Amino acid sequence: MASRTAAATVVVLALVCAVQSSLSVAAATGGLSPDFHAATCPALEHIVADHVWKAFKNDSGVAPALIRILFHDCFPQGCDASVLIEGPGTEQDEIPNRTLRRVALDLIERIRATVHTECKATVSCADITILATRASLIMAGGPRFDVTLGRRDSFFPASKDQVGLLPAPFHPVDTLIKSFGDRGLNVEDLVSLSGAHTFGVAHCPAFHDRFKDGFDTNPAIDRRFATMLRNKCAKDTPEGTLKQNLDVRTPDVFDNKYYFDLIARQGLFKSDQGLMNHTATQRMATRFSLNQDAFFQQFSKSMAKMVNMDLLTGDKGEIRARCAVRGTPPRIESAVTNDDEGIAADM
Ligand code: HEM
Ligand SMILES: *[C@@H]1O[C@H](CO)[C@@H](O)[C@H](O)[C@H]1NC(C)=O
Ligand SMILES: *[C@@H]1O[C@H](CO)[C@@H](O)[C@H](O)[C@H]1NC(C)=O
Ligand SMILES: CC(=O)N[C@H]1CO[C@H](CO)[C@@H](O)[C@@H]1O
């Protein structure tokens, strides 16, 4: 009898331990897991891959467009699809978001529609944005990064102040290190994630500081490159309509040529070129120019980190019915605050 009780106690203890350790794993990853949707939406990754491949075949620019949208989603208030909300007073209304590309925003919404038809509203726009970005990155030649799933969408766009946290192209490296640091991203993350400027485009207003009042000397820009940019942007009317490739060597491929550009002083933004001109970043940027595997490895690590910034999980936030349209948080008087999105649903 006593031994049966003891055995039962052992079993109970073992169960408690098992539950506790799975709880602490869940807590460590915020309740996310790689197979979060496996039972409720087994075809998810197929649906994503299918849509992304069609879009990529039509316009490979959808890959850089997606990863920039993801960065702009995650950095201000976390990866919660807040950047996808449209209308006055949203993030898309703020200057840094005015050049997010329609072709990628529409793709995300098309995927959302198919997924919700096949699986009901079980997958958030935030998870879809990440899966679509990952698929397109591989199509463009880039590395695969690990993702855990189960994010929820925000009820609210990020505030103007939060969007203001996004780094600017004219920022010196010290400022970039500080702004990434404030968001839990380190110097390795800054140097590798900036490598996303190895594909995609920019518009003249984003880089005319590099040649407007004489050629930039801090850090110095290649004179022929600067002359080319100045002549090109002289024809930019109406302002902001001309496009310039971020990577002059292989503009559409995700590779390490961006770091070659920096060595040749042909980084487009001050924020790019600065990485080759600051003691905290120069060695790593040089290493990435010499070793694409090293770049890809760090990039994957840093992406996996970025997509886990400040998530809404569990019953916080919502699964948005349309990515561009915010829902209405449940009305619970005591819990209604403006600065803690999702809390109402948490009650
Ligand atoms: C380090 C700080 C960063 C600054 C200052 C910065 C700034 C910018 C600016 C000004 C543009 C051009 C906007 C335009 O004129 O159209 C741009 C484009 C782009 N950025 Fe960044 N960015 C940064 C980091 C990142 C990160 C972390 C990623 C992704 C991991 C990223 C991915 C891209 C891509 C792919 C484009 C091209 C988008 C397209 O072709 O539609 N950037 N960035
Ligand atoms: C194909 O790409 C072009 C250029 O981005 C875009 O305007 C068009 O809507 C795309 N078509 C489809 C079917 O995605
Ligand atoms: C940065 O550039 C300036 C001039 O262009 C140069 O004198 C300085 O040594 C560079 N610093 C680093 C760390 O590369
Ligand atoms: C892609 C996109 O929707 N961009 C929007 C950014 O903000 C401007 C100004 O509000 C809108 O006109 C654009 O539609």
The residue type found at 212 is K
Q: Which fold has domain 32-164+309-316?
A: Peroxidase; domain 1 (1.10.520)
| Average per-residue pLDDT for the chain | 89
pLDDT higher than 80, residue 337: no
- The stretch 121-136 carries a mean pLDDT of 98
pLDDT for the residue numbered 25: 40
**Does residue 24 or residue 106 have the better pLDDT?**
106
Give the residues surrounding ligand 2 with Cβ less than 6 Å away: 55, 58-59, 103
Ligand 2 atom nearest the C-alpha of 61 is 5
Closest residue by Cα to atom 11, ligand 2, is 58
Whole-number pLDDT of residue 22:
41
- Count of residues making up the chain: 347
Span 32-40, mean pLDDT?
96
Return d(Cα 155, Cα 158) in angstroms, integer: 10
Residues 6+ apart with CB under 8 A from 294: 287, 288
CA–CA gap between residue 99 and residue 239 (Å, rounded)? 13
Question: What's the gap in Å between 95 CA and the centre of ligand 3?
Answer: 31
Domain boundaries, the chain: 32-164+309-316, 185-305
| Atom number in ligand 3 closest to CA 276 | 14
Q: Which atom of ligand 3 is nearest to the CA of 279?
A: 13
Helix, strand or coil, per DSSP, at residue 252: coil
What is the CATH class of 185-305?
Answer: mainly alpha
Ligand 3 site, residue 286, Cβ cutoff 6 A: no
How many angstroms separate the alpha carbon of residue 335 from the centre of ligand 4? 32
The pLDDT value given to residue 93: 81
Atom 7 of ligand 2, nearest CA residue: 103
pLDDT given for residue 29 in this prediction? 55
Task: Identify whether 72 is a catalytic site residue.
Answer: yes
- Describe the chain by its helix, strand, coil percentages, rounded to 5: 55, 5, 40
Burial of 21 (0-12, 13-18, 19+ CB in 10 A): exposed
CB 102 near ligand 4, within 6 Å: yes
The pTM assigned to this predicted structure is 0.88
CA of 58 to the centre of ligand 2 (A): 6
User: Is 197 marked as binding a ligand?
Assistant: yes
For residue 207, the CA-to-ligand 1 centroid distance in Å is: 12
Residue type, 171: H
* Type of residue numbered 221: I
Task: Tell me: pLDDT of 7 over 60.
Answer: no
Q: Of 192, 205, 172, nearest to 99 (Cα)? A: 205
Q: What confidence tens digit (pLDDT) does each residue in 57-98 have?
A: 999 999 999 999 999 999 999 999 999 999 888 888 887 667
CB 188 within 8 A of CB 284: yes
**Predicted local confidence at residue 95, as pLDDT:** 73
pLDDT of residue 332: 64
Q: Render pLDDT for 222-280 as a digit per residue (tens, 0 to 9).
A: 999 999 999 999 999 999 999 999 999 999 999 999 999 999 999 999 999 999 999 99
Higher per-residue confidence, 38 vs 340 = 38
Q: Percent of the chain at pLDDT above 70?
A: 86
Residue 59 annotated as part of some ligand binding site: no
C-beta of 245 in contact with ligand 3 (< 6 A): no
Catalytic-labelled residue, pool 37, 46, 51, 72: 72
